[in-house]
Structure 1
Amino acid sequence: MLKKMILSGALALTTMSMTLAPAIARPLEEVISSGVIRVGVNPSLPPLGKFDEKNEIVGFDVDFAAEIAKMLGVKLEVVQVGSPDRIPFVASDKIDFVMGAMTRTTERAKVIDFTAPVHTEVLGVLTTQAQPYNDWKELDTADVTFVQVRGSTPVAFIEENLPNAKMTLLDNYADAVRALAQGRGTAMIDVIDFMGEYMNRYDSVDWKIVETPIDIYYCGLGVNKASTGLKDWLNVAIYDMHRRGKTDELWKEWFGIDMIAPVQASPYF
């Protein structure tokens, strides 16, 4: 999924950087004086964001943003965004910052700024302790059958990088993890953090995350390049939340597992 692998927002970045003129963004003092901070959350990326039974957006991103608002002494306004419009919303000052698996990339950084990392996403291999693999490259053999979601990005990755392995394609993540739990496949490649909810449904399975990850993505808050003072304050707040364990607490509450590659609290940013 790579949470749809940085999703379709990347497709528009080149055009966006050419067409979006720098907007006047609210400086930190204006955010404080207004009493409200506007945060973009994508409800199609559970458990980062999703709709609850009241049709309200909830999730890790909402709770993290609520803690930020509390620290700043303002109210939180959650603004629904999608993958294609989340960066334009920041660049045009419709929101003060955006969440939703905002992986830092050089292309995105041409259009918006990023804070220090809030969390990571580990692209890796999920299997069971019965399997001997310690490095993802060891799975390039005909003895391995990957269980993957049809149409997801890792399918193409496996075809290109692990061509000797077999694949079973299923329609959704619940079915794929169930098949793996039932022994109908050897392993699964995806952003493993998002598999915690499904893994916890099979607590009798001795799950294993292959030690060597394929990649680690660092996700921060996306802010307007003209948001004077706000990014600096957010960096201090993010550090404080890492330092006192609040980010890890919220992550485990929503993902059901610890962050696989925790962001280390560092005063240097």
Structure 2
Amino acid sequence: MVRRSLKEEWFAAIAAIQFLTRLPIPVVVPFEPRVLARSVAYFPLAGLAIGVLTAGLAWLLSFVLPLWPASILTLAVWLGLSGGLHLDGWMDTADGVLSHRSRERMLDIMKDSRVGAMGAAAAILLLMLKASLLVELMGYGITALLPALIAASCYGRTAMALAIVGWPPARKTEGLGPLFNGVNKRWTAVNYVLSVVFCYIILNVNGVNEINSLSISIVASLFMSLIVWGFGGWLARKLGGLTGDTYGAINEAVEAAILLLAVIGVRLWL
């Protein structure tokens, strides 16, 4: 029984990384609804992997390139590590919701593989914001950059978990939303705690004392929760629920917001 349970947890953790990243992990995992639902608890592991790799690259590039080219290359790798999955959701959500059509028409627009004017504009603005924030963080060195990138990546994935349990799927029988119907609040709580712990450890390793590390981690988690509540609630009211695209959009919004919070915090702190 214990062995079976450990195997299920192992599959769930690997599924989270394989689903949310393009990292080559040579493990065959059954992508069944039960495994996907359980994988939500381990979404922050994917964020941790992306954050560490992206921050390490950014730190190295900052030594050999001016800040803006280093920032853009870092952003390109950050995007590549997730396969553009969440940015695609951000664009589709912008195209649909900002069309101001009926609920059914908005959902149809979001299913269209073509990118519209609002999706393109939303993507450009988001990438410009992220790039400029990375430039600012790079200027303060790895002590600011590493915690910010890891926190953004981890809390972005936790935000998706909160959205999954917080609102019903807008489409009842198609898309990614129904695949996560079996997610329960206990797994989401594990997800939440993992993000706080990862953020705390990275801050502490970078020289921030225990009390401040814990305080910053909790403030960031509350800030993330507020964004999910506001942005997710607005999307759910517009669409009658959430979709896989909106989960990606929420992740992108939280990532940008955490980077912004980090820049504000560093400027006030230093």
Question: What TM-score, normalized by structure 1, do the two folds share?
Answer: 0.28
Specify which structure has the higher proportion of strand. 1
Specify which structure has the higher proportion of helix. 2
